[in-house]
Chains A and B, each alone.
Chain A
Amino acid sequence: MTEFNRLVSHYPEGKQKSALLPVLHLAQNSFGGWLSSDTMDYVASLLQIKPIEVYEVATFYSMYNLKPVGKYMFEVCQTGPCMISGCDDIIDYIGKTLGIKPGETTADGLFTLKTVECLGACGYAPMMQMGKTYREHLTKEKVDSIIAECRNNAAANN
């Protein structure tokens, strides 16, 4: 709640709805990486706005997940500059390695593969977002080591 209050304090009194986007990020991080309707209703009550005001925002922005996702989400950019730098091969390779298609999650719930549009890393292509950071200059070897790193982290935290 400290972080919630900090976010709301950025906006004028009575304009607490302005904190909706940052608060939804906070909620998504705090409640398993996605926004259930219960979570969205809770956010609405905290900000004293109608639930529909939260739903219409959550469905508009691509970073809010409205379904459960894997512990590690590989969001691979597929727009022009990444395409000319070979992102299609990287997307295929991740899919084959993990046995999933874009939009799917592995059966163990560890990985989700998602294709996304330009993330502003065109000079460091091919690239993907994983959590809070970018993984850039991707190669098949680099993908292998990222997957291994995720598996090790997951095992260490269990």
Chain B
Amino acid sequence: MFQSRTGKLKVMGVKILLDKAHVEGIRYFDVYRREGGYQAAEKALKEMSTDAIVEEVKKSGLRGRGGAGFPAGMKWSFIAKPEGVPRHLVCNADESEPGTFKDRYLMEFLPHLLIEGLLISSYALGSHDTYIYIRGEYAWIVDILEQAIEEAKANGFLGKNILGTGFDCNIYVHRGAGAYICGEETALIESLEGKRGNPRIKPPFPAIQGVWQRPTVVNNVETLAAVVPIIRMGGDEYAKIGVGRSTGTKLISACGNINKPGVYEIDMTISVEEFIYSDEYCGGIANGKRLKACIPGGSSVPILPANLLLRTAKGEPRLMNYEGLSDGGFATGSMLGSGGFIVLDEDQCIVKNTYTLARFYRHESCGQCSPCREGTGWMEKILKNIDTGNGKMSDIDLLWDIQRKIEGNTICPLGDAAAWPVAAAIRHFRDEFEWHVLNPEESQKRNYGLAHYADPIYVATP
């Protein structure tokens, strides 16, 4: 234990989700149980009222781990409880944000942690039929989850009269079929009803009218898994991990040009620099290259050049948590988002990267709202032109204009998600775009390189 810079006591590298991930056979019930699994479920179902569980989750400060960061306990407390109408908990396992592969890791290696979290949460919310909506491509994980569900059922932790408490609960796995938009909770609900994944207009919110018009709570895989340690240790203890409103631990999936891509659990007290360069995490930039840029929270959050990534505009070290990554707003900051941490080295082309992301969002737009349907395709075409040496100077301003007209003008946040990467790329890397336009031939032979993107930023002192 040592005193961190925030004054809180912290244990180095505290792990409460992945602490058992490397135990041989942890995927199976017997080993998970032997390692202390399902004790939190026993505590919750036998000793706690449903209100007390919601209260612990509120006290924990747990925020939605899918990207939006909305307080989970508050979301739970919104659920309507009309007499005689079933309620449902739905686990969002549609993980599709480029750069994000943490839920996959949890489900593949610790399926019972998710099942236990689902059981406790289903009990707290009064859901007797709970669904895991998993992206269609994770086909082999469906088998892993269904096996875990069968094991839990065979051991009395699912099915009828669980642990003799009179609580009944079944969990079903619902496989999607390839659509990023189904990670948006109302599109997910439409898809669960066997329809196209077109987001619904809110209100009514799912907590009032969700799947089959019944009150529904949709939570991300990691959020629901985190309920297990919260019940085990208590909400107050959980809230002691981390900094400020960034409580608990967060799974970060790190990828791109780093030495050790993978899924890491962080306690949100470390700096971005430590996360990238320490051997405990990413292990530095691969092949001895220099860091150029990073998209720290999944492809939709603003990309930052190296200098703004490692330090805030005030010149302080940037921390790996909700507040740290968003310090400075969109002008000089980004977001923690889903924890999809994409690192770009000095050889990467920002224009090409932005083009592939624009193509992604065009491909995934559901087509309901004109600004998104038309705007994403338009941005993709312009970016492709610039990338292939066919761009005009006016294209850069046009891109800025289009993304401004998408943002905030659509039913769901996919519009914003498509606009932000383009906006941030132009905001911070405008000279790289201009270089592409002014050097159409050279830009096809080499990349712009690191340029000034890692230079220290002059901080004006008052």
Chain A positions within 8 Å of B, measured between CB atoms, are 10, 12, 15, 17-22, 24-25, 47, 49, 53, 56-57, 60-64, 78-81, 83-85, 116-125, 129, 132-133
Q: Who on chain A is nearest to B257 by CB? A: A84
The count of chain B contact residues (Cβ–Cβ below 8 Å) is: 56
* Nearest chain A CB to B29 CB, angstrom units: 21
For B205, what are the chain A residues with a Cβ–Cβ distance below 8 Å? none
Could you pull out 26 A-B pairs where Cβ atoms are within 8 angstroms?
A12-B212, A21-B174, A21-B175, A21-B191, A22-B174, A25-B136, A56-B195, A61-B136, A61-B197, A63-B137, A63-B177, A63-B178, A78-B356, A80-B295, A81-B255, A83-B353, A83-B356, A116-B178, A117-B98, A118-B97, A118-B180, A120-B101, A120-B135, A123-B263, A125-B261, A133-B140
A18 is contacted by which of B99, B193, B257, B356 (Cβ under 8 Å)?
A: B193
- Asked if B71 lies at the interface with its beta carbon under 8 angstroms from chain A, I say no
- Asked if B272 lies at the interface with its beta carbon under 8 angstroms from chain A, I say no
**B360, A125: Cβ atoms closer than 8 Å:** no
B363 is contacted by which of A80, A117, A120 (Cβ under 8 Å)?
A: A117
Q: How far is the CA of A132 from the CA of B175 in the complex (A)?
A: 12
**A80, B353: Cβ atoms closer than 8 Å:** yes
**B359, A85: Cβ atoms closer than 8 Å:** no
B360 is contacted by which of A24, A117, A132 (Cβ under 8 Å)?
A: A117
State the 10 A-B residue pairs at the shortest beta-carbon distance, nearest first: A20-B194, A62-B178, A61-B177, A123-B261, A63-B178, A122-B255, A17-B194, A10-B172, A118-B98, A60-B196
For B241, what are the chain A residues with a Cβ–Cβ distance below 8 Å? none
Q: Who on chain A is nearest to B100 by CB? A: A120
**B101, A121: Cβ atoms closer than 8 Å:** yes
Q: How far is the CA of A49 from the CA of B195 in the complex (A)?
A: 12
Known: A85-B256, A132-B139. A57 touches B194 (CB 8 A): yes
* Nearest chain A CB to B104 CB, angstrom units: 5
For A116, what are the chain B residues with a Cβ–Cβ distance below 8 Å? 178
Best-buried of B192, B194, B254, B256 by chain A (most CB within 10 Å)? B194
- Asked if B265 lies at the interface with its beta carbon under 8 angstroms from chain A, I say no
**A61, B255: Cβ atoms closer than 8 Å:** no
For A125, what are the chain B residues with a Cβ–Cβ distance below 8 Å? 255, 261
Q: Known A-B contacts: A19-B194, A78-B359. Give 18 more (CB < 8 A).
A: A15-B212, A17-B193, A18-B174, A21-B194, A56-B196, A61-B136, A62-B179, A81-B255, A117-B359, A117-B364, A118-B99, A120-B104, A120-B135, A122-B98, A122-B100, A122-B101, A123-B255, A133-B140
For B176, what are the chain A residues with a Cβ–Cβ distance below 8 Å? 21, 61
For A133, what are the chain B residues with a Cβ–Cβ distance below 8 Å? 139-140
Q: Who on chain B is nearest to A60 by CB? A: B196
**A79, B194: Cβ atoms closer than 8 Å:** no
Which of B42-50, B115-123, B340-348 contacts the other chain? Answer: B340-348
Q: How far is the CA of A117 from the CA of B82 in the complex (A)?
A: 41
* A-B interface contact total, Cβ < 8 Å: 147
Per-position binary interface string of chain B over residues 128-159, scored 1 when its CB falls under 8 Å from any chain A CB and 0 otherwise: 01010001111110000000000000000000
For A81, what are the chain B residues with a Cβ–Cβ distance below 8 Å? 98-99, 255-256, 299, 342
Known: A12-B129, A18-B193, A118-B360. A84 touches B104 (CB 8 A): no
Chain B positions 82-99 with a Cβ under 8 Å from a chain A Cβ: 86, 95-99
Q: How far is the CA of A61 from the CA of B192 in the complex (A)?
A: 13
Q: How far is the CA of A148 from the CA of B356 in the complex (A)?
A: 31
* Nearest chain A CB to B103 CB, angstrom units: 8
**A132, B101: Cβ atoms closer than 8 Å:** no
Q: Who on chain A is nearest to B196 by CB? A: A60
Q: How far is the CA of A78 from the CA of B362 in the complex (A)?
A: 14
Best-buried of B98, B131, B257 by chain A (most CB within 10 Å)? B98
For A21, what are the chain B residues with a Cβ–Cβ distance below 8 Å? 136, 174-177, 191, 194
**B353, A84: Cβ atoms closer than 8 Å:** yes
Best-buried of A56, A123, A132 by chain B (most CB within 10 Å)? A123
**B195, A120: Cβ atoms closer than 8 Å:** no
For A10, what are the chain B residues with a Cβ–Cβ distance below 8 Å? 131, 172, 174
Q: Who on chain A is nearest to B138 by CB? A: A120
Q: How far is the CA of A49 from the CA of B258 in the complex (A)?
A: 50
* Nearest chain A CB to B289 CB, angstrom units: 12
Q: How far is the CA of A56 from the CA of B254 in the complex (A)?
A: 36
Q: Who on chain B is nearest to A18 by CB? A: B194
**A122, B340: Cβ atoms closer than 8 Å:** yes
* Nearest chain A CB to B199 CB, angstrom units: 13
For A120, what are the chain B residues with a Cβ–Cβ distance below 8 Å? 95-96, 100-101, 104, 135, 137-138
Chain B positions 322-377 with a Cβ under 8 Å from a chain A Cβ: 340, 342, 344, 348, 352-353, 356-357, 359-360, 363-364, 366
Known: A120-B138, A123-B263, A132-B139. A80 touches B360 (CB 8 A): yes
- Asked if B312 lies at the interface with its beta carbon under 8 angstroms from chain A, I say no
For A49, what are the chain B residues with a Cβ–Cβ distance below 8 Å? 194
